[in-house]
Structure 1
């Protein structure tokens, strides 16, 4: 896609699902939901670390679904502050998810040495999958924030 498609104002209605930066809400929700499910279903040997991962996945999921619903409903029409809000939300989510992905990777690394005898291999694989999806969610949020910054700059 060309750069010109990312510099249009915020779409509304179902056009949200066709515009380049805003279509990224779908993989954000998918990967974030998978992180949420995987961390919630796994054993939690280090509650403070995985508690942050759980908070980030739930917070970003709710934030993304709320923004998506508001954009589809068209509540942002007539206000220029929504583009700024979009940038702030996407950058905050990217930063939060990066920290959560690093903490989940560290937790999985620690689990592999000290807690593996108490966990089954399937539970360990759940943590590995949570790490992978957390980094994928981070990547999608970073890409979305970059395109949101381009839209903000052009508005």
Structure 2
């Protein structure tokens, strides 16, 4: 059995505030792709951003911490973030004039952003990584989603490519 080096044993954890800033810069470049993954496979966009970013850092996600992180994230995501998103999407069906629609949409968007940031803080707190030469965090998450098909694999490949371009430009 191969003995682990000190570097391999080093546990990495993201700084939530720094990651929020990275997300604000990276998300506009991958928004349609992330929304496709969210809508078609119920993927969490914050987790997609975090996992693609950490792959670029050369960090491999610990499977046990992914399970724990998803458990901790679920109540906030399901009962707050997703509900806010659904409310925002239902706005066009309401009998409101355009000014009322805009005002309500902006308020929901601001609150949804607060929830998204809190989700990132939870993920940064619970997820643990170790240095790796070929990290594959997105595939590990794909297993948690219990979804593996060609379209999903293409979408994850595209997300990885976008993250590599973003990292190279940063």
* Pairwise same-fold verdict (TM > 0.5): no
Question: RCO (CA 8 Å, sep 6+): is it higher in 1 or 2?
Answer: 2
Normalising by structure 1, we get a TM-score of 0.39
Normalising by structure 2, we get a TM-score of 0.36
The structure carrying a bigger helix percent of its residues is 1
